[in-house]
DNA sequence: AGCACGCCGACT
DNA sequence: GTCGGCGTGCTC
């Protein structure tokens, strides 16, 4: 028995920036103190909650009379590893978010509910005695059955992962089981050593000189952050995989983060084909149970590669050896609500703590990353050549001033599309606008269709004929006459994907036209199917939004037309031009991946815009250097630290007043070195009947800003208005 | 965040 | 008379 009384300091999933003190459970008589990281069930007001033990203390911060006994310890050993608990604590501080909620978002739902998750005995398939006697070509009538049969003749058993890699479906397994050819074996997998032969399922591809040089610069025995800047198609993935292989060879695990959109079956297939180690997937498409199991496999070190989206940045590991962040500039690495963390930045900190290498890869690095590379904080690695015979596409601005556009396309662009089709190749029309037209109005009285809850224009959709608000979910039937003056005809202006698609079918009646946007690819399989169809290589025209911009390999694509290039040049958000450059470069990267040189046309009303010109003539890297120079002059990130305080309320005044309060807090405190901008209305001021305002804070001194944020939170915690008004803090925002 | 408590308006 | 609107306060 313990000779001193002790108290449990517990993080609970409530939005309060404190730990709660509890007495140990009544029946707790163990001689040992409980370990931080275990889950605890506790009474909390009128309800019961699952929390995580963060500390065992001898003092309490509250009156003794308030103390309650915890109900029970759920775990025997830690649920959150020490490393992960530390990471959560750091993130809670850095992003000014309550620890309990940070921890809660690190845990899979099953764990949050207090479930005990168990791994089933790793079931593997073996041949039945009967099947062992069959001749080796016995199953030649079924390709997949034959494949597994042959595999099992050579190897004794096939695990789930093996089946997955061989692309054996559950239907095939079921069929073979019914026929009595295979059976389940509960013998656990043979322990694998770390010889390259047992890690790799296929030979690595030969590297070109650049790739080999880059790979040699990764060091494995210390913290090292490398920015791998490689043009699209330069073979970054191959570098990742070979770097991962080295970490695995040293008996360690690898964590791979990929943007939401890039996590396609094809990407996963490449990893499964290359490695014959257990791979745990962690992303929102994995079921809750499976996610909990994969999480546990990662924690136990059973999964050697953990691959997933942003949420995998908080996956537990046993002995992590390397982290890869693919497409590190991608916005999906930043959580945009609740605990607003950057999976990239969190991972960099994680790597530094674990003393391991981390690779940030992108063809279009974020300005912060480039800045860090130039400043020597990151190792800057470059891949400048496309693998194989592919060349970089040529880019060209098309002046559309005083030009008659049809379906948003200039005569020159149409001509280019026609000749691409005539040559039997494919063309992509890129426009970032779903629907038929972004504006429906009355030519007679000037009425226009507006969403009543957002005060933004409705987008006209034609099939089905609806007015849709792209900011909230409001949709309603499109009127056929003017609701204001009863004029019989309504007009529309602007062009969306639906309209472009329609015009293309009229202009090119014998050419297949594919529209690819959120409306046409509702479920995940749709996109895969269309891409498969496209990659058969026949001449066709694609009309698509951002969905098409990233990651997909389009072998026969020669021409890309970007119709509304200027969109990114006019936004008040200083980051929007950076995003525009990234998007254009990424879309352009879709073209000319085959042997044909690709061509990109950028339609613009300001073709002489210096930023656009730099991008076109000198490429993304020079474009980025130019933008960095401008940011430096304006003391904007990455040359200063930024945070955004957002407030929203049905009452406009509440949102504004709360931000004014925050402003007063900063002004009256000793936080002289924080620049305050606002309260300003958000880019879209009203969404869903709620007014949104923001206060933009920047400082040359991070700790100064940090303390300012603390002051604001401190005042808010004692303020009534802050309870009536929804507000949030965003450290290192990516959207303003 | 939840959940209880408490104080006002329009209903069977 | 009560049902339920949400403003306020508390959670070890």
Q: Is A140 exposed, middle or buried (0-12, 13-18, 19+ CB in 10 A)?
A: exposed
Shortest-distance nucleotide from A44 CA to C1'? C11
In the prediction, which pLDDT does A156 show?
A: 67
Q: Two tokens at A116? A: 């005990």
Shortest-distance nucleotide from A338 CA to C1'? B1
In the prediction, which pLDDT does A214 show?
A: 97
Quote the DSSP letter at residue A342: B
Q: What's the mean pLDDT in A549-571?
A: 84
In Å, what is the CA distance from A300 to each residue of A182, A196, A317, A398, A579? 29, 22, 7, 56, 39
What gap in Å lies between CA A390 and CA A452, rounded to an integer? Answer: 50
Shortest-distance nucleotide from A66 CA to C1'? C12
Chain C: nucleotides below 7 Å from protein CB are 7-12
Give the CA-to-C1' distance from A657 to C10 in angstroms: 25
In the prediction, which pLDDT does A105 show?
A: 96
Average pLDDT, chain A: 90
Specify the pTM.
0.90
Q: Which of A205-209, A511-515, A545-549 has the lowest mean pLDDT?
A: A545-549
Alpha helices in A464-552 (DSSP H): 497-507, 524-534
Q: Identify the three-state secondary structure at position A620.
A: helix
Q: Is the CB of A15 under 7 A from strand B?
A: yes
Give the CA-to-C1' distance from A13 to B1 in angstroms: 8
Q: What is the DSSP pairing of strand A224-230 with strand A379-383?
A: parallel
In the prediction, which pLDDT does A474 show?
A: 82
Give the CA-to-C1' distance from A436 to B2 in angstroms: 43
Q: Two tokens at A671? A: 């936080």
Q: What's the mean pLDDT in A58-70?
A: 89
Number of other residues whose CB lies within 10 A of the CB of residue A4: 6
In the prediction, which pLDDT does A367 show?
A: 98
Q: Is A345 exposed, middle or buried (0-12, 13-18, 19+ CB in 10 A)?
A: buried
Q: Two tokens at A426? A: 């494919």
**How sure is the predictor about A187, in pLDDT bands with cuts at 50, 70 and 90?**
very low
What gap in Å lies between CA A237 and CA A256, rounded to an integer? Answer: 11
Query: Contacts of strand C, CB cut-off 7 Å?
Result: A 14, 16, 18, 20-22, 42-45, 60-62, 66-68, 720, 723-724
User: Going by C-beta distance under 8 Å and a sequence separation of 6 or more, which residues neighbour residue A57?
Assistant: A6, A7, A9, A21
Give the CA-to-C1' distance from A55 to C12 in angstroms: 14
A185 half-sphere exposure, CB direction, 13 A CA radius? 18
Q: Is A703 exposed, middle or buried (0-12, 13-18, 19+ CB in 10 A)?
A: exposed
Q: What's the mean pLDDT in A104-114?
A: 96
In the prediction, which pLDDT does A188 show?
A: 44
Candidates A451, A435, A478; CA nearest to A684 is A451
Which range in A24-33, A392-401, A638-647 is most confidently predicted, on average pLDDT?
A: A638-647
Q: What's the mean pLDDT in A280-293?
A: 94
Which bin fits A435, alpha (ψ -120 to 50), beta or left (φ > 0)? left
In the prediction, which pLDDT does A155 show?
A: 67
User: Going by C-beta distance under 8 Å and a sequence separation of 6 or more, which residues neighbour residue A653?
Assistant: none
- Determine contact, residues A114/A50, Cβ cutoff 8 Å: yes
In the prediction, which pLDDT does A705 show?
A: 96
**How sure is the predictor about A260, in pLDDT bands with cuts at 50, 70 and 90?**
confident
Q: Is A327 exposed, middle or buried (0-12, 13-18, 19+ CB in 10 A)?
A: buried
Give the CA-to-C1' distance from A80 to B1 in angstroms: 23
Evaluate if residue A190 carries a pLDDT over 50. no
Maximum distance among all Cα pairs of chain A, rounded to whole angstroms: 88
- Determine contact, residues A244/A277, Cβ cutoff 8 Å: no
* Order of strands across the sheet that contains A253-257: A279-282, A305-308, A253-257, A320-326, A357-362, A224-230, A379-383
In the prediction, which pLDDT does A383 show?
A: 95
Instruction: Please give the distance of CA A647 from its chain centroid, rounded to a whole number.
Output: 25
**What pLDDT, in 10s, does the model give residues A142-163?**
777 777 777 777 766 777 767 7
Q: What's the mean pLDDT in A611-620?
A: 93
Tokens 């602007």 sit on residue? A494
What gap in Å lies between CA A190 and CA A198, rounded to an integer? Answer: 11
SS3 string, A112-177, reads HCCCCCCCCCCCEEEECHHHHCCCCCCCCCCHHHHHHHHHHHHCCEEEHHHHHHCCCCHHHHHHHH
Q: What's the mean pLDDT in A618-632?
A: 96
Nearest residue to nucleotide C7, by CA–C1' distance, is: A724
Q: Which of A154-163, A197-206, A247-256, A670-679 has the lowest mean pLDDT?
A: A154-163
Shortest-distance nucleotide from A21 CA to C1'? C12
Q: Is the CB of A488 under 7 A from strand B?
A: no
Hits for CB < 7 Å against strand B across A residues 546-605:
none
**What pLDDT, in 10s, does the model give residues A452-500?**
888 889 999 998 899 999 888 788 888 888 988 988 898 898 889 999 9
In Å, what is the CA distance from A186 to each residue of A161, A190, A298, A399? 15, 12, 21, 68
Q: Which of A161-165, A373-377, A694-698 has the lowest mean pLDDT?
A: A161-165
- Determine contact, residues A669/A711, Cβ cutoff 8 Å: yes
Residue A555 backbone dihedrals phi, psi, to 5 degrees: -60, -40
In the prediction, which pLDDT does A122 show?
A: 61
Evaluate if residue A191 carries a pLDDT over 70. no
Evaluate if residue A280 carries a pLDDT over 50. yes
Which range in A3-12, A211-220, A530-539, A560-569 is most confidently predicted, on average pLDDT?
A: A211-220
Evaluate if residue A387 carries a pLDDT over 90. no
What gap in Å lies between CA A101 and CA A78, rounded to an integer? Answer: 18
Q: Is the CB of A720 under 7 A from strand B?
A: no
* Order of strands across the sheet that contains A674-687: A674-687, A690-699, A641-649, A726-731
Alpha helices in A220-274 (DSSP H): 236-249, 265-274
Evaluate if residue A121 carries a pLDDT over 80. no
């Amino acid at each position: 028995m313990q000779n001193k009384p002790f108290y449990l300091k517990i993080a609970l999933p409530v939005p309060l920036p404190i730990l709660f003190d509890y007495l140990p459970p009544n029946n707790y008589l163990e001689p040992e103190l409980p370990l931080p990281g275990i889950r605890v069930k506790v009474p909390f007001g009128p309800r019961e909650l699952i929390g995580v033990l963060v500390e065992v203390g001898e003092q309490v911060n509250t009156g003794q009379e308030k103390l309650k006994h915890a109900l029970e310890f759920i775990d025997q050993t830690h649920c959150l590893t020490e490393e992960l608990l530390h990471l959560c604590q750091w993130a809670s501080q850095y992003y000014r978010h309550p620890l309990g909620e940070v921890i809660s978002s690190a845990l899979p739902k099953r764990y949050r509910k207090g479930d005990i998750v168990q791994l089933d005995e790793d079931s593997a398939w073996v041949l039945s005695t009967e099947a062992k006697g069959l001749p080796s070509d016995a199953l030649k009538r079924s390709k997949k059955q034959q494949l597994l049969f042959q595999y099992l003749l050579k190897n004794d058993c096939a695990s789930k992962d093996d089946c997955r890699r061989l692309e054996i479906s559950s239907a095939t397994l079921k069929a073979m089981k019914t026929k009595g050819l295979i059976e389940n074996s509960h013998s656990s997998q043979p322990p694998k050593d770390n010889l390259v032969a047992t890690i790799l399922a296929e030979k690595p591809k030969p590297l070109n000189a650049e790739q080999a040089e880059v790979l040699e610069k990764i060091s494995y025995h210390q913290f090292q952050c490398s920015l791998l800047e490689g043009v699209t198609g330069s073979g970054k993935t191959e570098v990742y995989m070979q770097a991962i292989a080295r970490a695995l060879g040293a008996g360690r695990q690898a964590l791979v983060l990929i943007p939401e959109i890039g996590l396609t079956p094809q990407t996963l297939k490449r990893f499964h084909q290359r490695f014959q180690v257990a791979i745990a997937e962690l992303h929102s498409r994995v079921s809750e149970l499976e996610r909990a199991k994969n999480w546990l496999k990662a924690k136990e070190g059973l999964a050697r590669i953990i691959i997933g989206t942003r949420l995998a940045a908080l996956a537990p590991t046993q002995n992590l050896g390397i982290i890869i962040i693919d497409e590190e500039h991608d916005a999906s690495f930043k959580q945009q609500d609740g605990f607003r963390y950057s999976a990239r930045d969190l991972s960099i900190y994680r790597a530094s703590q674990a003393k391991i290498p981390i690779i940030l890869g992108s063809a279009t690095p974020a300005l912060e990353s480039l800045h860090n590379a130039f400043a020597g904080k990151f190792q800057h690695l470059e891949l400048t050549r496309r693998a194989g015979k592919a060349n970089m596409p040529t880019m060209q601005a098309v002046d559309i001033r005083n030009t008659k556009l049809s379906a948003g396309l200039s005569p020159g662009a149409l001509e280019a599309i026609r000749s691409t089709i005539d040559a039997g190749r494919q063309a992509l029309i890129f426009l970032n606008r779903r629907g038929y037209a972004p504006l429906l109005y009355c030519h007679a009285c000037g009425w226009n269709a507006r969403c009543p809850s957002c005060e933004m224009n409705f987008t006209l959709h034609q099939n089905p004929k609806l007015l849709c608000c792209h900011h909230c979910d409001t949709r309603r039937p499109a009127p056929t006459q003017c609701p204001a003056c009863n004029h019989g005809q309504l007009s529309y202006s602007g062009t969306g994907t639906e309209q472009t698609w329609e015009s293309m079918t009229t202009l090119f009646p014998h050419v297949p036209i594919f529209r690819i946007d959120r409306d046409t690819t509702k479920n995940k399989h749709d996109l895969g199917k269309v891409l498969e169809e496209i990659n058969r290589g026949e001449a066709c025209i694609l009309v698509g939004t951002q969905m098409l911009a990233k990651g997909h390999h389009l072998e026969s694509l020669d021409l890309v037309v970007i119709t509304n290039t200027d969109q990114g040049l006019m936004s008040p958000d200083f980051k929007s031009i950076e995003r525009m450059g990234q998007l254009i470069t990424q879309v352009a990267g879709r073209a000319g991946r085959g042997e044909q040189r690709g061509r990109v046309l950028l339609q613009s009303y300001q073709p002489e815009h210096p930023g656009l010109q730099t991008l076109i003539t000198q490429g993304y890297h020079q474009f980025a250097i130019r933008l960095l120079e401008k940011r430096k002059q304006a003391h904007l990130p990455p040359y200063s630290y930024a945070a955004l305080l957002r407030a929203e309320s049905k009452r406009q005044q509440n949102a504004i007043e709360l931000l004014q309060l925050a402003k007063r807090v900063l002004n009256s405190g000793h936080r002289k070195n924080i620049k305050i901008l606002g309260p300003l209305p958000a880019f879209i001021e009203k969404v869903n009947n709620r007014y949104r305002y923001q206060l933009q804070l920047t400082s040359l001194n991070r700790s100064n800003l940090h303390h300012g944020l603390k002051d604001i939170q401190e005042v808010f915690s004692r303020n009534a208005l802050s309870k009536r008004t929804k507000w949030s803090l965003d450290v290192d925002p990516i959207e303003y």
